[in-house]
Structure 1
Amino acid sequence: MTNVLIEAPSALQTAEQPINAHLTERRRWLIIALVLVPVFVGSIDLTIISAILPEVLIKLNIPIDTNLGTAAWLVTGYLLAYTVSMALMGRFSDMVGRRGAFLVCLALFIVGSWWVATAHLFPTALLNDIARRYLGQRPDLNQLTLLAVIIGRVIQALGAGAVVPVSLALVADLYPPERRAAAVGFVGAMDTLGWVLGHLYGGVMVGFFQQQGEAIRLWLAGLGLALPAPDWRTLFWINVPLGILAFVLMIFALRGVQHPISKGRFDLIGALLIAAALTCLVIGLGGNTEVTGATSLEALQAQTNQSPYNLGLLLSAAALLGIFLLWEWRQAHPMLELHLFRKRAVSAAMLTNLLIGFLLMLGLVSVPLLINLRAENASAAAIARAAERAGLLLSTLTIPMALASLPGAWLSGKIGFRNTTLSGIALAISGFALSGSTWRADTPELLMSLHLTLIGVGLGLTIAPIGTVVINAVEATRRGVASALVLIMRYLGMTIAIPSMTTYAFSRLNYLVSLARESFARDWAAEEIQRQSVRVYFESGVMVIAEMLLIGVVIGLLALLPALWLRNHQPTSKPAQDEV
C-alpha cells in the first residue's frame, strides 16, 4: 500500500480526489473479499466463548460455581479490549496507513488465538515462573491456565476489534463517496453475521468434538499424526492458519493501494484517557453480564438484586471522559477531533446508531426470556430445549439483519441514505409494535419469527447508510477515527440496553406480582397460594416482556429524529461539510 502523506485538512477544506482510480474492479473486490475473512473470524470469537465456557472450566478441572466471577472475564475482557482497540486503532490507521494497521491487527489476533490454544503449555509455564520468581507464590496450575486463556482472549480482541474499523476505512479508500455504500455494507454484514453465529458455531463444534473427538484422533493417528482429540482449543487453533493465510495474501493484495495519511503524533495521553473511560463505562454498566448466560427471569432477577450498575465506575467514567474532552480540546493533533461532532451528518448518525444498538439488544434479550418462561417445567432438559428453540428464533432476527445490510447499500444509492435509514427504522418499529401487542403465552413461534424477521431486516437496512454517511462526511485522513466511532456507538447502545432493561423488567415484575398478591384470599391453603403465585408470576412475566418490546417502539420513534438529519445523497466530488 502506498501511503500518501497529507496534512490533515481544516474543517473548511472540502475537496476529495479519488486516489485509487487506477485499481480494477476485480482487484477492489479481491481486497474486500480478503478483508472480510478476519472481520468474520474475529467477530465470531466475540460470542463463541459463551457456548464453550462450561467446557473450558470442565477441561481445566475448575469448579464452575465458585469460579464464575473469574471466568466471566473471558467474556468481559474480550468485550473491553474489543471496544478499546476500536477507539485507538482507528486513529492509528489514519496515521500509519491501512495496510500497516490492518496487518498489525491481524498479527495480534493470530498471536492471541495461538496463546489461547496453547494456554495449558507455554503461557501457563511462563505465568507460573513469574509467580514463583517475582511474587514468591505457588499458584494452582489450572487457575493459571484460566488466567492464561483470559490474557489470550484480550490479545485476540485487541486485534479483532481494531480490524473492523480499519477495514471500513480501507474499503472506503477504494471507492469514491457515491460508490462506498456496498463495500461498507459487506463489512457490516460480515461483522454482524460473525458475532450472531459465534454462539451457535461454538456450541455445535464442541458437541461434535465430544461425540467424534476420539474417532478423529484415531483417524489422524492412522495418517501418522500423533495429535490429541479435538476439543475447545481446536476452535482457536483453526484461527491460526486462516489468519496466517489472510496475512500473507493481504501483503500482496494491498501493494500499490494508496491511502492518505494524517500528519501529527499519536496522542498517547488521550488514548489512555479514552481507554480508561471506556473500561469504567463498560464494566460500570454491567459489561460482565452475558445475555446468553442468563435467559430466564429468575436468573436475571438474581443479577438485578445484585444491581447491574456500579455507580463508582460510572462516575469515574464520566470524570475521565470530561478530562479526555478537555485534553483533546487543547491538542494540536488530538486522538479524537471534536469538531467532527459539529458536522450534522456525523452527530445524527452517531446518535441514530446508539439507539439502533439499544434496539438490537432489546430484541436479543426479549426472545430468550419469553421462550424460557414458556418452558413446560424447570428441569434441565426442558431449559435446554427452550434454549435451543430460543437460539433458532433469534436466528430469524440476526441472520436477516446481516443479509439486509446488502440491500441497504443498494437502496442507499437509489433512494438515499436518509430515506433508507428511515425505512429500516420504520420496519423495525412495526416489528416491535406487532410483537409487543400480540406476543402472549400461546403465540405460535412461526408468527414470532415473522415479527423478528421484520425487526432484523429493518435494523439491517440501517448498517450501510449510517456507516457510509459518517465516512463520507469526514476528510480522507480521518476515516479510521470515523469508522471506529460508528461501531463504538452501536456497541455502547447494546451495553446500555442490558442493565437498563434488566432493571426495568424486574422493578415492573415485582410491582405487578405484589399488586396481584394483594387480591389473594386470606383463607387459601398453602398449595393454592403456591399455585396462584406461579400463575401470577407467569402472567406478569409475559406482560413485562410485551412492555419491553413496546419500549422498542418508543426507542425506534426516538431514532427517527436524528435520522431525519442525515444527508440523503452524497455529493460525488467532496465530503459533506454541513456543520451546526
Structure 2
Amino acid sequence: MAAPAAPDAPPLRALLVASVAVLLAAADTYVVVLVLPEMMGGVGLGIDQLQRGAPLISAFLLGYVAVLPLVGRLADLRGRVPVLVACLLAFAVGSLLTAGADTLTTAVLGRGLQGLGGGGLVPATLALVADRWPVERRGVPLGAVGAVQELGSVLGPLVGALILAASGWRAVFWANLVAAVVLGALLWSPRRSDPWLVALTAVSTGLTALAVLSPERLTSGVRTGLAFAPLSADRAWTAPVALAAVAGWLALGAVWWVRHGGAAVTAAVDLPSAALLTVALSCLVLAFATSDPQVQVVADDAPLLLAGCAAASAGFWWRNRRTDRPLVAPGLLAPRAAWGALAVNVLVGTALVAALVDVPIFARLTTASQDQVAAALELVQLLAAVPVGALLGGWLCRRTAPRWIAATGMLLAAVALAAMTRWDATALDGVGSAAVLVLAGFGFGLVIAPVNAALLAVVPDDAHGLATALVVVARMIGMLVGICALTAVGLRVFYLRQAEIGSPLTLCPQTPTDCPQFEAATQAAALAELHAVFAGAAGCALLAAVLCAVLLRVDGPGRAAPGELIRTA
C-alpha cells in the first residue's frame, strides 16, 4: 500500500502539469536546432551568417543557466507553484517575442526569456516531488520527471518537423505560447489570485503582442498608426505601444513587490550575492557558448569573460560567507552526496554532449553525407532509450542504494562510448551500432533519478529548489565546457593525422582533382578525431561511475546515512 502524501504536500495535479511543462521546455531546447536556418532567414540573416545567428542559441543558454540558482531559491521562499506559473509566463512571453520577431534583437530577447522560464521549471518541479514524497519513495517520481524531460528531446525535433512541414518556423513558437498559457492556467488558482496582477498580466501581454505583431490594419491607420511609429528612427522599441508594454511589465513587478512580499523576499535573499553569481555564470556561458568548437576552444573574448567569471566568483564567495542571508547557506553542499552530485553531473554532461553532438557528425561523415534527417535519426536511437533508463533508475531507487544504480548507469555509458571508438566507416550499417546507442542512452537515463535522490536526501527541505537548480547548472556547465574541451582534443588528433597525408598531387599525380586515396585518408583522419572525442567522453563517464560509487553513499534506498543530514536550527 502506497504511503500517503504529507498533509501539506502539493496536489498531484500540480506535479503532473509541471511535468508536462518540463517536457514542453525540453522539446523547445532541441527543436530550435531544426528551425535555426529558417529563423535566421526570418530575422534578416543569410545562411552564410551562421556566426551572427549564434546568439539565438547562446541567449537561451544564458537565460537557462545564469539565473537558475536565484530561481531555485525563490521557489524555496515563495513556493513551487507560484514560481512555476512565473516561469511559464516568462516562457510564454519569450515565445510571443520569438514568434513575431522580424529582427535579431527581438528574437534574441525572446529566446533569453524562453531559457529563463524553461530552466526554472526543472528545479521547481523536482522540489515538488521532494515536497510530496518522503525520502525513501522519491525514486519513481524523480525518475518520471527525468524521463519526461528526456522524452522532450525525442519529441521536440519530431513535432517540430511536423509543424515545419505544415507551416513555418514561427508556428513552432506560437504552439509554445499556446501550450504555456494552457499549462499556466491549469496551475493558476483563482481563489488565491490577485486581480491586479491578473489584469496587469493580461494588459501587458496584449500590448506586447500588438508591439510584436504590428497588425497592418492598425499600423496603416491615420490615428492608430501613431502608436506604432518609433519615436527614435530604427529603434522599434521606442514606439508608444512598445513603451506601454514595457511600462505594463514594470507596473506588474511593482504591484507584486508591494502586495506580495517583494521586500520580504529581498530580506531573505542577498541580492548582491545573486547578482555576482549571475555574472559569473553569464561570463562562463558566453566564453564557451559563443565559440565555434571546430575552430576554437573558447570565444575570442574568452580571456576577458573568464577573468570576469573568476572575479565575480571570488566576489560571490566572499559576499556569501559574510552576509547574514546568503544565497547558498554555509554547509548546504557540505555533505559528500551533495557536492558529489554536482561533480557527477558535470561529468555526465560532458560525456552526454559528446554523444549528442558527434553521433550525427559521424553519420554525416559515413552513411548519411547529404541527409541531415537520416543523421539525426541515428541519434534518436540513443535519445529514445534515455527515458526508459530514467524510469527504471527511479524504480530501482526504492530497492537499491542510489550510488550503485548511478554507477551502473555511467559504467554502461562508458562501455558504449568506448565501443564507439572502434566504429569504422561502415559501423552504422549494422545492428551493432544501434545496440551501442541504446546502451548509451539507457545508461545516461539510469543515472538521473539516483543523483537527484541522493542530493535531495542530504539537503534541508527548505533548500530543495536551490539544490536542484545547482545540480542542473552543473550538468549544463559540463555540456558547455565539455564539448569545447573534447572537440579541441579531437581536432588535435585530426591535424596530426592530416599532416601525415600526402597531397593529391603526390597520391594521384594523374587525377589530382579526383583522388579517392586522398578522400579516404581525410575521412580516416576525421574518424580518428571523432574516436578521440568518444574516448574522452568514455573516460569522463568511467570517472563519473567511480565518483557515483564513492560520493553518493546513502544509508539504504534513497535515504541519507546517519550524520550526513544538514542540521538546521
Q: TM-score, normalised by structure 1?
A: 0.78
Deviation at 1:547, TM superposition (A): 2.7
**Distance in structure 2 (CA, Å) of the matches to 1:420 and 1:287:** 35
Deviation at 1:60, TM superposition (A): 4.3
Per the alignment, residue 137 of structure 1 pairs with: none
2:341 is the alignment partner of 1:349? yes
Higher mean alpha-carbon deviation, 475-484 vs 185-194, is at 185-194
Deviation at 1:21, TM superposition (A): 2.1
**Distance in structure 1 (CA, Å) of the matches to 2:388 and 2:291:** 29
Shift of the 62–559 alpha-carbon distance from structure 1 to 2, 3 Å rule, reads closer
Shift of the 63–322 alpha-carbon distance from structure 1 to 2, 3 Å rule, reads same
Deviation at 1:22, TM superposition (A): 3.2
Deviation at 1:75, TM superposition (A): 1.0
Aligned match for 1:105, one of 66, 87, 97: 87
SS of equivalent residue, structure 2 residue 138: helix
**Distance in structure 1 (CA, Å) of the matches to 2:435 and 2:191:** 42
1:253-272 equivalences in 2 (<5 Å): 265-272=268-275
**Distance in structure 1 (CA, Å) of the matches to 2:516 and 2:558:** 67
Per the alignment, residue 322 of structure 1 pairs with: 314
**Distance in structure 2 (CA, Å) of the matches to 1:469 and 1:456:** 21
Aligned match for 1:472, one of 433, 439, 457: 457
Deviation at 1:252, TM superposition (A): 4.2
Letter in 1 for 2:114: Q
Per the alignment, residue 409 of structure 2 pairs with: 424
Aligned match for 2:25, one of 32, 38, 42: 42
Letter in 1 for 2:522: Y
SS of equivalent residue, structure 1 residue 415: coil
2:66 is the alignment partner of 1:84? yes
**Distance in structure 2 (CA, Å) of the matches to 1:418 and 1:337:** 25
Per the alignment, residue 112 of structure 2 pairs with: 154
SS of equivalent residue, structure 2 residue 129: helix
Shift of the 309–357 alpha-carbon distance from structure 1 to 2, 3 Å rule, reads farther
SS of equivalent residue, structure 2 residue 326: coil
1:160-559 equivalences in 2 (<5 Å): 160-209=118-167, 231-252=168-189, 265-287=268-290, 301=294, 303-304=295-296, 310-375=302-367, 382-383=369-370, 385=371, 387-517=372-502, 524=509, 527=512, 530-559=515-544
**Distance in structure 1 (CA, Å) of the matches to 2:430 and 2:493:** 25
**Distance in structure 2 (CA, Å) of the matches to 1:469 and 1:532:** 53
Letter in 2 for 1:242: A
**Distance in structure 2 (CA, Å) of the matches to 1:527 and 1:177:** 68
Alpha-carbon contact 1:262-1:477 (below 8 Å) kept: no
Unpaired segments ≥5 residues, structure 1: 1-17, 120-141, 210-230, 256-260, 290-299, 377-381
Alpha-carbon contact 1:431-1:455 (below 8 Å) kept: yes
**Distance in structure 2 (CA, Å) of the matches to 1:276 and 1:163:** 21
Deviation at 1:310, TM superposition (A): 2.0
**Distance in structure 2 (CA, Å) of the matches to 1:96 and 1:566:** 30
Deviations 1:2-30 (A, max 9, x none): xxxxxxxxxxxxxxxx9952379xx8543
SS of equivalent residue, structure 1 residue 336: coil
Shift of the 560–188 alpha-carbon distance from structure 1 to 2, 3 Å rule, reads same
Deviations 1:138-168 (A, max 9, x none): xxxx4xx332122112122221111111111
Letter in 2 for 1:454: L
Shift of the 375–304 alpha-carbon distance from structure 1 to 2, 3 Å rule, reads farther
SS of equivalent residue, structure 2 residue 421: helix
Shift of the 197–497 alpha-carbon distance from structure 1 to 2, 3 Å rule, reads farther
Per the alignment, residue 56 of structure 1 pairs with: 39
SS of equivalent residue, structure 1 residue 396: helix
**Distance in structure 1 (CA, Å) of the matches to 2:69 and 2:287:** 18
Per the alignment, residue 562 of structure 1 pairs with: 547
**Distance in structure 2 (CA, Å) of the matches to 1:431 and 1:475:** 37
Deviation at 1:523, TM superposition (A): 9.7
Letter in 2 for 1:335: L
Deviations 1:484-541 (A, max 9, x none): 0111111111111221122111111011111243999699456189543322111121
Shift of the 254–316 alpha-carbon distance from structure 1 to 2, 3 Å rule, reads farther
Deviation at 1:61, TM superposition (A): 4.6
Letter in 2 for 1:396: Q
Structure with higher RCO (Cα < 8 A, 6+ apart): 1
Deviation at 1:62, TM superposition (A): 3.7
Letter in 2 for 1:35: A
**Distance in structure 2 (CA, Å) of the matches to 1:244 and 1:503:** 42
Deviation at 1:430, TM superposition (A): 1.6
**Distance in structure 1 (CA, Å) of the matches to 2:490 and 2:559:** 50
SS of equivalent residue, structure 1 residue 437: coil
Identical pairs, percent: 28
Alpha-carbon contact 2:92-2:114 (below 8 Å) kept: yes
Alpha-carbon contact 1:407-1:461 (below 8 Å) kept: yes
Q: TM-score, normalised by structure 2?
A: 0.79
2:78 is the alignment partner of 1:96? yes
Alpha-carbon contact 2:505-2:512 (below 8 Å) kept: no
Letter in 2 for 1:429: A
Letter in 2 for 1:337: A
Deviation at 1:84, TM superposition (A): 1.8
Alpha-carbon contact 1:425-1:556 (below 8 Å) kept: yes
Letter in 1 for 2:358: S
Shift of the 62–524 alpha-carbon distance from structure 1 to 2, 3 Å rule, reads closer
SS of equivalent residue, structure 1 residue 71: coil
Deviation at 1:578, TM superposition (A): 2.1
Shift of the 482–262 alpha-carbon distance from structure 1 to 2, 3 Å rule, reads farther
Letter in 1 for 2:142: V
Alpha-carbon contact 1:474-1:576 (below 8 Å) kept: no
